[in-house]
Structure 1
Amino acid sequence: MAKNSGNKSKAKFSVYIKRYWQLYAMLFLPLLYLVVFKYAPMIYVQIAFKKYSLVQSVWELPLAKNHGFEYFIQAFKNNDFKYALRNTLTLNLLDLVFGFPAPIIFALVLNELCFTRYKKVVQTIAYMPHFLSWVIIYSLALQLLAPNAGLVNMIIKDLGGEAIPFLNDEAHWIGSYIGFGIWQNFGWGSIIYLAAIAGINPELYEAAAVDGAGRFRKMWHITLPGIKPTIVVLLIMSLGNILGGGFDRPFAFQNNLVMRVADVIATFVYRVGIKGLQFSLTTAVGLFQSLVGVFFLLMANFISRKLGERGIW
């Protein structure tokens, strides 16, 4: 009996594969990409625990001192790494506080626009900065905010004020950095929220209108609860990247006058690891960064599930 059930299962599996083999064939290249470029490089994570040498295989490298934790200890004794860790957390938290709500607010406002053509124009204009590289955006920032030749400061001086060091003073630099980050991403980030809003049942708005609810009431009691699961998922993913962040943006905006607040982990790894050839040290830093990101991701998902939300798994 068990043999017959096993044969039936094999026959069903064979029929299933014959019917849907195209779908699995389409998945082959993405899976190959993940294996080659994402999982295979994980072999070299062990460099963080070994004394790296260009002439030896990664498997033959000798173990570092302190049971392999020499470079982790060295990193936490390095003042430049401490500054980079502090700056990464500070800038990413500010991005989260000010940047995360921006696409939500924009999507809510855009959803309330009645004129379809105007709505499309606004969407297109808001999306465009996402396709600009950070080098181009920093060039625009220089043209606008440079102390002497920047358009904004020229207007301020023409009005009798003093030039503001947007890119040369630490506090002003942080504001400029966060502001340009919001400007580049809020339009693109709103796409997901607009898609979530489109999935809300229109009958809810009709029922609310019958009850006398205005636009703000509909937004607060229907639209926001309707996109709440999407907000929670994206917030969890953002918290998982709290110690991450890209390299392009901080590297493009950095200058010698603001390095104390502008040097982040990504630029520290580039400067010390690639230019300074300290591969074991910066591999240890990268591994620490990834582990902290996973911890925040798991904690955020756990708290979300405890509060009754779906989470990401």
Structure 2
Amino acid sequence: MGMDKKLPIGEKASGGEKRFPGRTAKADRKKRGLQRLKNQLPLHFMLIPGILTLIVFHLVPLIGLRIAFQKFVPVKGFFGDQKWVGWGNFRLFFSMPNFVNIFRNTVVIALGKIIFGMVVAVVVSLLLNEIRAMKFRKTVQTIIYAPYFLSWVVFGGILVTILSPSEGIINQIIRALGFEPVFFLGNARVFPATLIATDTWKNFGMSTIVYLATLTGIDPGLYEAASIDGANRWKQVIHISLPAMAPIIMLTGILNIGSILNAGFDQVLVLYNSQVMSTGDIIDTFVYRMGLKEMQYGLSTAVGLFKSVLSTILMTTAYYLSYKFSDYRVW
């Protein structure tokens, strides 16, 4: 008594409408979906600049990949009667005597930057985590972060002065120690190590942010328990800090596989010269010279396409490995 009587499906209610639970539930879901879309509409509008940037600078230029299969002559126009050479530009690049050298330089320099950049960032993060004076810690962090925000044009000019064989402060220190000065930017044997060291100097500060965030998330009780058990600071780092950092170290290492062919075009272009071409020339600088200096547009586009396809394969492999070993996924 006092309760509404449940009407059979399809029977008219007091308002004259028939009861159809399926239709009602579908209408409710649609209404909730529209309301959710209305609430999230400002967020969708915020995506428009990024989508337009992706379309204009990444998708539209894909039309130009046809140049990789042509002997492109600019005066004939992009859609003009160009001569098609098929895979000729690719065969030309692979048959060049410096192809192996350029590819090797790219991989060696990129791997060196990835490995040394990660090692230095991890070590510095562990050292910063041990600092208890917060003002001193923040001062050190600010100093090591600063180079990251300088462009390679500015930072390269600073490096040219610092590494000068005659007046550079580094070579002055080397002379004071009784050794011969080193021509860092003119010695082909030393140049790759110079690229790796200077890139690490510029970028490791920003990488420490990720590792410091991991260290601050460790339960302080673990350190207290280890201290009670007699573990010193070194053993605490070995048995607590590093294991906690291992997943993020593995993740960043795997994801860096995708950028193994990006050896740093800006840096190399600013610092290299004809004396170090044998060990400093990479794929990106080769594309720059062939395309903008030699005006071999078909060849430069073919080399860029080769690098992009190989980078896509490496990136896909990296995400698969990151999901398999670190349970990381983008979507």
Q: TM-score, normalised by structure 1?
A: 0.88
Partner SS for 2:41 = helix
Alpha-carbon contact 1:71-1:280 (below 8 Å) kept: yes
CA distance in 2, matches of 1:296, 1:79: 25
- 2:251 aligned to 233, 237, 252, which one? 233
> Which residues of 2 match residues 22-33 of structure 1 at below 5 A?
22-33=42-53
Distance 1:34 1:146, change over 3 A: same
Q: C-alpha offsets along residues 138-186 of structure 1, whole Å, 9 cap, x if unaligned?
A: 3333323222232333344455432222222122222222111111111
Alpha-carbon contact 2:103-2:283 (below 8 Å) kept: yes
Q: Give the drift of 1:305.
A: 4.2
| Residue 142 (1) aligns with residue 163 (2) | no
> Sequence identity of aligned pairs in percent?
36
> Which residues of 2 match residues 2-17 of structure 1 at below 5 A?
4-17=24-37
Alpha-carbon contact 2:68-2:299 (below 8 Å) kept: yes
CA distance in 2, matches of 1:160, 1:79: 41
Q: Which amino acid aligns with 2:70?
A: K
CA distance in 1, matches of 2:23, 2:60: 39
- The two structures, once aligned, show a CA RMSD in angstroms of 2.4
| Residue 19 (1) aligns with residue 39 (2) | yes
Q: Which residue of 1 aligns with 2:7?
A: none
CA distance in 1, matches of 2:329, 2:203: 22
Distance 1:287 1:3, change over 3 A: farther
Name the stretch that deviates more: 48-57 or 237-246: 48-57
| Residue 181 (1) aligns with residue 189 (2) | no
Gaps of 5+ in 2: 1-19
TM superposition outliers: structure 1 runs of 4+ over 6 Å = none
Q: Which amino acid aligns with 1:15?
A: Q
Q: Which amino acid aligns with 2:44?
A: Y
| Residue 97 (1) aligns with residue 115 (2) | yes
Alpha-carbon contact 2:73-2:82 (below 8 Å) kept: no
Q: Which residue of 2 aligns with 1:109?
A: 127
Name the stretch that deviates more: 228-237 or 179-188: 228-237
CA distance in 1, matches of 2:135, 2:45: 41
- 2:210 aligned to 183, 188, 192, which one? 192
CA distance in 1, matches of 2:26, 2:143: 59
Name the stretch that deviates more: 248-257 or 158-167: 158-167
Partner SS for 2:326 = coil
| Residue 78 (1) aligns with residue 96 (2) | yes
Alpha-carbon contact 2:90-2:299 (below 8 Å) kept: yes
- 1:276 aligned to 291, 294, 313, which one? 294
Q: Give the drift of 1:301.
A: 3.5
- 2:56 aligned to 20, 26, 36, which one? 36
Alpha-carbon contact 2:255-2:322 (below 8 Å) kept: no
Aligned residues: 310
Q: Which amino acid aligns with 1:43?
A: I
CA distance in 1, matches of 2:323, 2:189: 37
Alpha-carbon contact 1:88-1:243 (below 8 Å) kept: yes
Q: Give the drift of 1:268.
A: 0.8
Name the stretch that deviates more: 148-157 or 32-41: 148-157
Q: Which residue of 1 aligns with 2:189?
A: 171
Alpha-carbon contact 1:106-1:190 (below 8 Å) kept: yes
Distance 1:148 1:79, change over 3 A: same
Alpha-carbon contact 2:107-2:261 (below 8 Å) kept: yes
Distance 1:218 1:312, change over 3 A: farther
| Residue 162 (1) aligns with residue 169 (2) | no
Q: TM-score, normalised by structure 2?
A: 0.84
Highest CA radius of gyration, 1 or 2?
2
